[in-house]
Amino acid sequence: MPEFPDIYILRHGQTEWNLQKKYQGQLNSPLTALGQAQARQQGEILRAELQGRHLPAFTSPLGCAAETAGLALSPLGQRAQPDSRLKEVYFGAWEGKTYKEVFGAEDIDRTENRFEKYFSSPAGEDFQSIQSRCRAFLDDLEGESIVITHGITSRILRGIWLGLSPEAMLDLPIGQGCVYHLHSGTERCLQTGQLISPLEREALDAPAHGP
């Protein structure tokens, strides 16, 4: 029997800082026009999948996730409850800096030592801390739910749910404009053909945009 209820996990839509390849963390960057369209697309995916069912919904209170939640849940006629445990990992002194400024690489998801590049920022949050708050959130779920969060937090939540090692968690994709459905011990990516260029299609299957 699964340890946790089924969940639908959404990453926020594309932000200005995603485009600029910056560490976003717990600072906010607004959604781009594409990011807003991706959030609406997630809403259509949920509406088609749920077929009129209303599930409890929870969101990170950070601006880009809250905006995504509003746009994605509008077709369902509901709102999400903010939960601070769904915030992105705190990157400390790196927040607002580009990956290249910190590590000299433009795409840290495709480099070695990714744990160092996500969890070793001066005054930042370590892996054990974010894993603990994600586990606490999952432990408190009382049934099937919708969750709107961020790239790294999405990976940790899904990794805990799937029983993965910390290293395997960072290999999970973090596409935007799709919905990850965790059900019967497995994960499937729900998506449509809209708003997906070849590069964006790749991003659904490989974590190309970072946190």
Q: How far is CA 37 from CA 13, 18, 56, 73, 166, in A?
A: 8, 15, 23, 13, 32
Question: Which DSSP symbol is given to 146?
Answer: E
d(CA 80, CA 60): 9
Write the CB contacts of 196 (distance below 8 Å, at least 6 apart in sequence): 177, 204
Catalytically annotated residue among 67, 88, 125, 200: 88
Q: Is 190 helix (H, G, I), strand (E, B) or coil?
A: strand
Judge whether 183 counts as a catalytic residue. Answer: no
d(CA 181, CA 145): 10
**Among 155, 168, 160, residue whose Cα is nearest residue 141:** 160
Judge whether 142 counts as a catalytic residue. Answer: no
Catalytically annotated residue among 12, 150, 181, 209: 12
For the annotated catalytic residues, the residue numbers are: 12, 88
